[in-house]
């Protein structure tokens, strides 16, 4: 959705085809980090992010499972200009959708076929509709239909973990510290909490091991009693929070090995369709926004004949960074959950991870794209 906004801002005609029947209330919390906030600001969306999200405070903290503080959480870029915001996924989608002209989004369009040649691309949908374009951007997630038109599809990699996630009205936990991201780490599992929706709701996620192949889904219903049992004996603050959970959802954690190819002629992949990653850096949505900004800059300087070359340039520009973030997310999950004989070693690694976080947060996708374009005389 951000890619559509970025393209329109640069004068490129766009149509969005969404298989869902409506843009609705799906998912729970996501984090927007400085590397995407500076891009959202440039297309005029930061005020809405600030209104509906929550800026996470410098008091945000990593803890051991018993509540012993480990290290502060990085909540700004190096300059301090851009922070980290907790958002409800549905609010983010609504902000993006509402920023587009009403005739851009076409719901109820599930793509079932793609044909392309040197002149353009033709899409076929399950409802019988068709569409033609100079370029198609497949932004259809980890189970991407578009991926098979680019490369041999690879199976998602099961992390062996599942996440229980949900929302609690903040009024049910009046003593809970406002505006803070908190993460507790223990053997084989971890638990995190951050506020969303202007601080009116508390988003929680409990990551636990599982021998079952859980669906990669936002809406599989979980058992609050099972979740509470997983974190029995942890910091009393977690146990108190879990007494307020009435509904929780079960989410299988998957990524893929970095794809070797994102682009085929006039089709390219974006976001989780190209580089699905585990949530342990909070970068899924943010890397998609970076993708969209870079792609918009390159396509704005292309025409019908040169568009395939712009897609190749986009892939070349984005691959190394997104691969590093994918690998970093895996490593962070292992760091949170591994059985360390010396917890001091783990705690030191958590503190040292600030450097990588700042590398992620300080990146400016538009500046990087501009520099790359200048190198090649674009």
Tokens of 301: 């300087």
Q: Look at residue 160 in the predicted model and tell me its pLDDT.
A: 84
Pair 234, 289 in one domain: no
How confident is the model over 298-338, as pLDDT tens digits?
Answer: 999 999 999 999 999 999 999 999 999 999 999 999 999 98
What would the mean pLDDT of 139-143 be, rounded to a whole number?
Answer: 89
| Residue 158 pLDDT level (bands cut at 50, 70, 90) | confident
Is 185 part of a structural domain of the chain? yes
Q: Look at residue 33 in the predicted model and tell me its pLDDT.
A: 98
- Gap between the Cα atoms of 270 and 23, Å rounded: 19
Yes or no: say if 217 and 164 are a contact pair by the CB < 8 Å rule: no
Q: At CA 244, angle to CA 242 and CA 247, rounded to 5?
A: 90
Pair 310, 171 in one domain: no
| Residue 350 pLDDT level (bands cut at 50, 70, 90) | very high
Q: How far is CA 113 from the centre of its chain?
A: 27
Query: The domain spanning residue 224 has which CATH number?
Result: 3.30.9.30
The residue with greater pLDDT, 144 or 46, is: 46
pLDDT at 68 over 80: yes
Is 181 part of a structural domain of the chain? yes
What percent of the chain is modeled with pLDDT above 70? 97
| Domain finish residue from 214, 236, 255 | 255
pLDDT at 215 over 70: no
- Gap between the Cα atoms of 372 and 378, Å rounded: 9
| Domain finish residue from 224, 255, 286 | 255
Nearest alpha-carbon partner for 99 in 48, 159, 154: 48
pTM of the model: 0.95
Look at 21-30, 231-240, 298-307 and tell me which has the smallest mean pLDDT.
Answer: 21-30
Tokens of 283: 């970068």
How confident is the model over 177-203, as pLDDT tens digits?
Answer: 989 999 999 999 999 999 999 999 999
Query: The domain spanning residue 117 has which CATH number?
Result: 3.50.50.60
Is 342 part of a structural domain of the chain? yes
Concatenate the DSSP letters of all residues of 115-158 into one string.
Answer: EE-SS-EEEEETTS-EEEES-EEE---TT-SGGGGTS---PPEE
Q: At CA 118, angle to CA 116 and CA 121, rounded to 5?
A: 30
Pair 20, 129 in one domain: yes
Q: Look at residue 253 in the predicted model and tell me its pLDDT.
A: 86
Quickly tell me which residue has 């991201």 as its tokens: 181
Quickly tell me which residue has 């005029």 as its tokens: 44
Q: Look at residue 219 in the predicted model and tell me its pLDDT.
A: 60
Q: How many domains does the chain have?
A: 2
- Gap between the Cα atoms of 57 and 319, Å rounded: 32
- Gap between the Cα atoms of 263 and 313, Å rounded: 10
Pair 311, 213 in one domain: no
The residue with greater pLDDT, 245 or 339, is: 245
The residue with greater pLDDT, 12 or 153, is: 12
Pairing of strands 61-64, 182-186: parallel
315-338 core/surface letters (b: 16 or more CB in 10 A; e: else): bebbbebbeebbebbbbbbebbbe
Q: Where are the extended beta strands (E) located within 197-302? A: 201-209, 220-222, 248-255, 263-264, 267-269
pLDDT at 217 over 70: no
Pair 190, 296 in one domain: no
How confident is the model over 92-104, as pLDDT tens digits?
Answer: 999 999 999 999 9
Q: Look at residue 356 in the predicted model and tell me its pLDDT.
A: 97
Is 62 part of a structural domain of the chain? no
| Residue 257 pLDDT level (bands cut at 50, 70, 90) | confident
Which residue blocks in the chain are alpha helix, DSSP H? 2-9, 34-42, 46-52, 89-98, 224-230, 236-242, 284-300, 307-337, 343-352, 354-361, 365-375
Yes or no: say if 296 and 9 are a contact pair by the CB < 8 Å rule: yes
Pair 91, 112 in one domain: yes
| Domain housing 204 | 157-255
Pair 214, 266 in one domain: no
| Residue 38 pLDDT level (bands cut at 50, 70, 90) | very high
- Residue 166, number of CB atoms within 10 A of its CB: 20
Positive or negative, the CA dihedral 283, 284, 288, 291 is positive
Which residues, in sequence order, are bridge partners of residue 71?
A: 62
- Gap between the Cα atoms of 321 and 258, Å rounded: 11
Pair 272, 124 in one domain: yes
């Amino acid at each position: 959705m951000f890619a559509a906004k970025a393209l329109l801002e640069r004068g490129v005609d766009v149509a969005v085809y969404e298989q869902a029947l409506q843009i609705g209330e799906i998912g729970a919390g996501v984090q927007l980090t400085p590397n995407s906030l500076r891009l959202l600001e440039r297309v005029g969306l930061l005020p809405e992010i600030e209104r509906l999200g929550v800026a996470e405070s410098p008091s945000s903290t990593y803890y051991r499972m018993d509540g012993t503080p480990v290290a502060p959480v990085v909540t700004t870029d190096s300059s301090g200009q851009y922070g980290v915001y907790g958002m409800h996924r549905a609010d983010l989608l609504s902000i993006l959708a509402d920023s587009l002209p009403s005739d851009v989004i076409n719901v109820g369009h599930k793509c079932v076929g793609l044909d392309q040649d040197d002149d353009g691309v033709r899409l076929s949908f399950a409802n019988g509709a068709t569409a033609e374009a100079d370029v198609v951007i497949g932004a259809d997630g980890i189970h991407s239909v578009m991926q098979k038109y680019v490369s041999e599809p690879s199976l998602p990699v099961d992390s062996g973990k599942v996440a229980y996630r949900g929302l609690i009205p903040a009024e049910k936990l009046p003593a809970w510290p406002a505006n803070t991201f908190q993460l507790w780490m223990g053997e084989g599992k971890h638990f995190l909490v951050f506020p969303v929706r202007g601080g009116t709701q508390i988003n929680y996620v409990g990551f636990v091991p599982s021998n079952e192949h859980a669906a990669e889904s936002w809406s599989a219903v979980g058992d609050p009693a099972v979740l509470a049992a997983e974190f029995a004996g942890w910091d009393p603050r977690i146990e108190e929070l879990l007494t307020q959970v009435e509904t929780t959802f079960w989410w299988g954690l998957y990524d893929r090995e970095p794809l070797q190819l994102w682009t085929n002629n006039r089709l390219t992949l974006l976001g989780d369709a190209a580089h699905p990653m585990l949530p342990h850096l909070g970068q899924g949505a943010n890397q998609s926004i970076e993708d969209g900004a870079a792609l918009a800059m390159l396509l704005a300087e292309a025409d019908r004949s040169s568009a395939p070359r712009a897609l190749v340039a986009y892939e070349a520009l984005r691959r190394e960074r997104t691969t590093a973030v994918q690998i970093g997310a895996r490593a962070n999950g292992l760091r949170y959950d591994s059985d360390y004989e010396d917890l001091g070693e783990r705690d030191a690694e958590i503190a040292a991870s600030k450097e990588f976080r700042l590398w992620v947060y300080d990146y400016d996708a538009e500046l990087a794209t501009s520099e790359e374009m200048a190198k090649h005389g674009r």
